[in-house]
Amino acid sequence: MSPRLQKIDFELRDSNNRTAGDFAEKIVIKHEIGELNKNYSKMVNKVEQVSLKDDTLGYDVLSFDFDGSEKHIEVKAVRNIPAITFRFFISENEITIARKDKNYHLYIVFDYLSETPFIYKMPNPFANKIPGVTIDPIKYLVTVRIKK
């Protein structure tokens, strides 16, 4: 007997992913504010969820290092606890910007629905090769111009 095929509700999946991402971004903002309150409290009010205003920036949260330099944080949400491997999707725009952005950071929020989510802070995997990280292109945008 062959496996049963299922119709995928892409709108529902995208909506769920946006909700998860928003939730994880709020966790990161709370974390960043807590870190800045320890050593650099004058920057706390400047931490911002920029993804709500502009999708083209290539990152989700604007925060700051203790020296005052900007941190551009891309946030990914993973429902489960950390495992040996995990996967996430990233857009071509996000990769393009990350490759050029010296202030880019990637935070993976694991178990984001729990009382104790875990934030894995990853060095920029798009600017430098990192052992154990593979980036595979899996989507393509096809534009067709019909001559009239």
pLDDT in tens, 49-70: 999 999 899 999 999 998 899 9
CA distance 52 to 104: 18
Distance of alpha carbon 17 from the chain centroid:
11
- Whether the model pTM is above 0.85: no
Tens of pLDDT, residues 97-116: 999 999 999 999 999 989 99
Does position 148 have pLDDT exceeding 80, yes or no? no
Which two structure tokens, joined as six digits, stand for 137? 């292109």
Query: Residue 54: its pLDDT value, please?
Result: 94
C-alpha dist (Å) from residue 110 to 19, 20, 29, 40: 15, 11, 15, 26
Which two structure tokens, joined as six digits, stand for 88? 């996430």
C-alpha dist (Å) from residue 118 to 7, 71, 105, 109: 33, 19, 16, 6
What's the average model confidence in pLDDT over 122-130?
A: 84
